[in-house]
Chains A and B, each alone.
Chain A
Amino acid sequence: MRPNFRIWPILVLLSILSLPLVLMYFYLVVDTVTDTTAGSLLPDRFTLEHWKFLFEKPETGRASIWPVTANTFLFASSTSLIVVMISLTAGYALSRLNMPFRKFFLGGILTLHAFPTVTLIIAIFLMLQMSGLYNTLIGVILVKTALELPLGIWIMKGFYDTVPWEIEMAGITDGASRFTVWWKLVLPQVQPGIAALALFSFLEAWKEFILPQVLAPSGASQVLATYLQNTIMDDRKPDFNLFKSIGLFYALPVILIYVVFNRKLMNIYGGGTKG
């Protein structure tokens, strides 16, 4: 089929526009395995020295990368898990149950979602400090979860809205309790939404920087985002190749998730309509 416009001018334009990004990614990868003399564009030699952080602690007495990675993973997956569990139930309630103040809740959720996080940070800081959760991973997880919930609930409500009422009516007349209907008949229909929301909130937490930085700044509850920042913050001679290597290491799971699950992630923007 002949398209009704030429494709190559668009391709050229898009290529030129995205070239800087591609180049930057290219150098990000290349720089982690080479050394380059300052001022030169081309690398001098191949080296794996910048990846040494995987096996031994970097100098200047910083923590090993693995506990920090474990922290990040724990942070991201717990956030994801809690967000999914609460969104699944809350979304169902908002979509289906004839509960009081439903309109108010729906409006409230949208407002909360639009609210900029940073403006809350001092209040949250004080609350965490009073409750003794300051500088703990649990504290950060709770706060991140709370901030992700509005979007999650709203998205799950959208998915529930697409499930036909008749399926639930059929389940009820077949003799199943409301809970069984939800668990056995409705949840399988919104399964793409669950997958998308789980991945999405995992990624959101994985990349979170401000919250861990402010609410859990030191030691045991460090996550990769803050760790990465520390590698260039308190050094007198910043090691940019190390910074890039850790950066790439930090980005790998994200890239992997996008590559493997990108179709599932796209569901979140489709609002649950089947493609």
Chain B
Amino acid sequence: MRIALENFTKTFGETTVIDNMSLTIDSGEMLALLGPSGCGKSTTLFAVCGIHRMDGGRLLFGERDVTTLPSQQRNVGVVFQNYALYPHMTVHENIAFPLKVRRENRADIARKVEKIAGLVQIGELMARRPAQLSGGQQQRVALARALVREPDILLLDEPLANLDAKLRLEMRSEIRRIQQETGITAVLVTHDQVEAMSMCDRIAIMNRGEIVQLSSPSEMYDNPSSDFVAGFLGNPPIAFLDGTTEEGGFRLANSRVTLPIPSNLAIAGSGVPMRLGVRPEFFQPGNPLKVTGKVSFVEIQGREELYDVTLENGAVLRSIQPHGGNHKLGDEVTWGIAQDRILAFGPDGSRL
């Protein structure tokens, strides 16, 4: 079902957390709300599920205006960060609870619970209590409970934050599989860019209560609208070079090094402050646009090696290279930047 937030505003006391935000989630789409903590992504989620009252704007589920409806009548399924399973009930009772509350008949409940338990693959755990389950199993139960009454929208609040690294990987693809099999519209709230990029159709990246950019993961990675977005996506993160434009080029701050300005940019005049962003995969020994610096940090990651190269003026570029480069800390290296992949940002951080 298509979900639309129109001019959503939320205040807590005197502070306005979210001001006039609009967002549309297409039917069957999985959308990530991504951002640093305190950016308002959870607030948005709680407004959609009806736990927070909206201070302004409208919320539409399909054509239905649910802005003032209490949570109970909205038909949303929520998976909380700590799963919020009911500790005194068995897995079966947990999943059946939303149906029991709606007074569905016994046979229907049993059938639906069994079906959904099969989907999330916890059929053999039905008699256990939450305390007897592992983190991943609890997560599956929470998903099953949120999905069992076929909600209009599934909301996931940092669902993977409490899992260890290996399980996180497994549940990432599991949640995506379940979402696609049920075809449900879903919103994932996360501060982890890898989760957002790998699980979702589109990402809404938020900062200070605003949606900074809304697009598909690869589009957002290749074409960030600001240095904030560019810095948020990508691991290892992008490196920034500060400097000013001058006749026919870009001069790095506090140095004589100049780089040609990317050809696709039309820069007017010289002396304009500017910021260049270079992703680690585009700073490689083989590229043409050479810069020289000292290796100041080495991280062996097995398949790959990550280097920090400190330039003459103190700016740091990152490079990620296949295993076997064998560069040592303190080595002087001259590597190249892929010129057409440089991202340029203006003084206010917006993309040029």
- Taking Cβ atoms with an 8 Å cutoff, the residues of A that contact B are 164, 166-167, 169-177, 180, 185, 188-189, 191
| Closest chain B residue, CB of each to CB of A188 | B88
| Closest chain A residue, CB of each to CB of B81 | A166
* Most chain A CB neighbours (cut-off 10 Å) among B78, B85, B86, B102: B86
Q: Which of A167, A173, A188 contacts B71 (CB 8 A)?
A: A173
Assembly CA distance A167 to B88 (angstroms): 11
A173 B78 Cβ-Cβ under 8 A: yes
A169 B78 Cβ-Cβ under 8 A: yes
B81, chain A: closest CB distance, angstroms:
8
Chain A residues, Cβ within 8 Å of B72: 172-173, 175-177
Q: Inter-chain contact count A-B, CB under 8 Å? A: 58
B149 A169 Cβ-Cβ under 8 A: no
Given A189-B87, A189-B88; A175-B98 close (CB under 8 Å): yes
Chain B binding surface, main DSSP class: loop
| Closest chain B residue, CB of each to CB of A169 | B51
Interface residues in B, total, Cβ within 8 A: 26
A167 B84 Cβ-Cβ under 8 A: yes
Given A176-B72, A188-B88; A170-B102 close (CB under 8 Å): no
B82 A173 Cβ-Cβ under 8 A: no
The verdict on B50 contacting chain A, using a C-beta distance below 8 Å, is: yes
Q: Which of B71, B75, B149 contacts A172 (CB 8 A)?
A: B71
A184, chain B: closest CB distance, angstroms:
8
Assembly CA distance A171 to B84 (angstroms): 9
B222, chain A: closest CB distance, angstroms:
37
Interface positions, chain B 72-94, Cβ under 8 Å from A, are 72-78, 80-88
A195, chain B: closest CB distance, angstroms:
14
B101 A175 Cβ-Cβ under 8 A: yes
16 new A-B pairs (CB below 8 Å) besides A170-B84, A173-B49, A176-B97?
Answer: A164-B82, A164-B84, A166-B83, A169-B51, A170-B80, A170-B85, A170-B145, A171-B86, A172-B72, A173-B51, A174-B98, A174-B101, A175-B102, A176-B101, A177-B72, A185-B86
Assembly CA distance A188 to B51 (angstroms): 23
* Most chain B CB neighbours (cut-off 10 Å) among A166, A170, A188, A191: A170
